[in-house]
Amino acid sequence: MLTPEDHLELIRRGISTFQVESQLQRLRHGVPPITIIRPCRLNDGIIQLQPEHFPRYQQQFEGARQADRVSKFIPASGAATRMFNDLLKFLSQEASPESSSNQAPSLPHAVDQAWTRLQDFPFIPDLERYLHGQGQPPPTDQHTHDLNTILQAVLKTPGLGYAELPKALLSFHRYPEGPRTALEEHIHEAIRYHPNQLNSIKIHLTVSPQYEQAIQTHLHTIQQTFEKQGWKLDCTVSFQKPSTDTVALNSSNQPFRGEDGTLVFRPGGHGALLENLNDYQGDIIFISNIDNVVPDYLKDSIVAWRKALGGYLVELQQHVFHHIAQLSSLPADAKSVHQAESCILHELLLPLPQSYRELALP
């Protein structure tokens, strides 16, 4: 039962009563399964791009890039907490009174791997600087550091505070010149779509309000670095909308309430960002989650395939627009209609409605 205060909160978030009722229905009864007709197969839902066509697709992409049609959309609101679940769980257990024992416990596999391969992590230079500032030896000297000290320094504040940061600000890869954050890697990849510095590189990030200032500060630093090299970065930021939040339920399938009696909401999944994507009003948009990054030696392959996909999209769009123009030139002849049918069936891989054959040419 919703209270008057609940209705005010829903209005503030932009959520209608009907939406909440629909959410409650789905959460309590589940989502009805869809009827599967058949699996997708090659040429029946799946298009296989042929490598010999890549030069043509990449030429199409280049035309779109020169027309400033290309941008990148990065969902970057995710926190890094889940990345460090095992380490955080170990820390909390070590801090509990039950953990006090004269016998050293065996380490969980994930914790043992993190400790054994500590030097492989890209944040080691950051950790070294922090420990040096604390007057402590570098993390390479594991004989003078216990595991808890290192985990506290990496995950908590004071320290690197990795468990409290968004993934965008974490060092993901290490290079001879130093580590790169996930956000830096995305920008390094975006630059590879541009063979010259004539066009601005358009990037849009969706972030959590609590991390906006930190991400904006980091973004400004990155922009300054690249702009000194002659690149123009056009970076914008938006928040996931409160209207896409989902009401939480308790174990009795009733709306969960906080200690103050107010409804508790959970942010929607990545599907909620479709509203941000629509508001962005981009044209050809490459979508990559913030942690979907690769080191430099793998970027050329990624970029080549994305250029091909972008070029294929441009070519497909040209075909669709051509058929629309042909059909709009009344009277449409049978040849134009059959060509449009072929495009729908064999390029868009869409079925024609059963009633289609009953229609007559205008």
Segments making up each domain of the chain, as ranges: 4-79+167-310, 81-98+106-164, 311-358
Residue with tokens 């928040």: 239
Torsion, Cα 164 276 29 24, to 10 degrees, reads 80
Q: What is the pLDDT of residue 44?
A: 87
Average pLDDT (207-236) is 95
Q: What is the pTM of this model?
A: 0.88
Cβ contact 42:48 at 8 Å: yes
- Helices and strands (DSSP H and E) totals, the chain: 12, 10
Band (pLDDT 50/70/90 cuts) for residue 253 is: very high
Closest CA to 167 of 188, 150, 181, 185: 181
Q: Name which residue leads in pLDDT, 100 or 129.
A: 129
The 10s digit of each residue's pLDDT in 331-358 is: 878 899 999 999 999 999 998 988 888 8
pLDDT over 70 for what percent of the chain? 95
Q: How far is the C-alpha of 65 from the C-alpha of 194, rounded, in Å?
A: 8
Q: How far is the C-alpha of 145 from the C-alpha of 119, rounded, in Å?
A: 13
